[in-house]
Chain A
Amino acid sequence: DQQVKQNSPSLSVQEGRISILNCDYTNSMFDYFLWYKKYPAEGPTFLISISSIKDKNEDGRFTVFLNKSAKHLSLHIVPSQPGDSAVYFCAASATQGGSEKLVFGKGTKLTVNP
């Protein structure tokens, strides 16, 4: 049973346009969400997070939106740059439940074309 789903295995966008990466979750106990970026042959790098008490968090070109009722979050990258090309993992944890487990989605490979 996959609790965190990234239904698009890949996404291709033009440089300068918006990249939107989507993530759905099924466990209503999740209250903290993170996005990681991974280049080949490197470990994941933390990008941005959001707590369930918020619906938006912005950091430079990266914005994460959370829709709790739909159990959906998205990562917006504006404007997209070729260096953003990587695999993006969505992850969730249930901190209030006392669980420190982070559940990852399968990732979406983003390609930003010059």
Chain B
Amino acid sequence: DTEVTQTPKHLVMGMTNKKSLKCEQHMGHRAMYWYKQKAKKPPELMFVYSYEKLSINESVPSRFSPECPNSSLLNLHLHALQPEDSALYLCASSQRLAGGPGFFGPGTRLTVL
């Protein structure tokens, strides 16, 4: 199993909703990442987890709340989002922290109304 899976593929939510994005990998990777990508822009790092501990938070607004319940799962909890938060949210993993992510998931396309 050499892939990163993300659910859901698409998500439409209102500004008052609470939703969660899920990411899973079974490659034994100990570093997991959340990236945000707007159209025709490069991915922007949001959070990095290393050994289930938050390693990097790129000054992301608190309406985005990451969670790493175990070494295979990474969640991103969403609450009170703004329309400008609409984007592709990518999860990624790597065997170790140094060097950056080796495997990306397909992403969740989020639309905030």
Residues 91-105 of B contacting A (Cβ, < 8 Å): 92, 97-105
Least Cβ distance of B7 to chain A in Å?
13
Instruction: Indicate if B65 sits at the interface (CB-CB under 8 A).
Output: no
Q: How many A residues are at the interface, by size bracket? A: 20 to 34
Q: How far is the CA of A80 from the CA of B104 in the complex (A)?
A: 24
- With an 8 Å Cβ cutoff, the count of chain B residues facing the other chain is 25
Q: Contacting B92 at CB < 8 Å: which of A43, A95, A107?
A: A43
Instruction: Indicate if A111 sits at the interface (CB-CB under 8 A).
Output: no
Instruction: Indicate if A25 sits at the interface (CB-CB under 8 A).
Output: no
Q: Contacting B105 at CB < 8 Å: which of A32, A43, A105?
A: A43
Residue with the greatest number of chain A CB neighbours at <10 A, chosen from B45, B101, B103, B107: B101
Q: Contacting B100 at CB < 8 Å: which of A42, A43, A91, A106?
A: A91
Least Cβ distance of B2 to chain A in Å?
11
Q: Are A43 and B98 in contact (CB under 8 A)?
A: no
Q: Contacting B98 at CB < 8 Å: which of A32, A41, A46, A107?
A: A32
| Contacts beyond the supplied A42-B107, A44-B43: 11 A-B pairs with Cβ under 8 Å | A32-B100, A43-B104, A49-B99, A89-B42, A89-B43, A91-B100, A95-B99, A100-B31, A100-B97, A102-B101, A105-B42
- Seen from chain A, the residues whose Cβ lies within 8 Å of a Cβ on chain B are 32, 34, 36, 41-46, 49, 89, 91, 93, 95, 100-102, 104-107
Q: 5 closest Cβ contacts across the A-B interface?
A: A43-B104, A104-B42, A102-B100, A95-B98, A100-B97
24 contacts between A and B (CB under 8 A): A32-B100, A34-B99, A34-B100, A41-B106, A42-B107, A43-B4, A43-B90, A43-B92, A44-B43, A44-B90, A46-B101, A46-B102, A46-B104, A49-B99, A100-B56, A100-B97, A100-B98, A100-B100, A102-B45, A102-B100, A102-B101, A104-B42, A104-B43, A105-B42
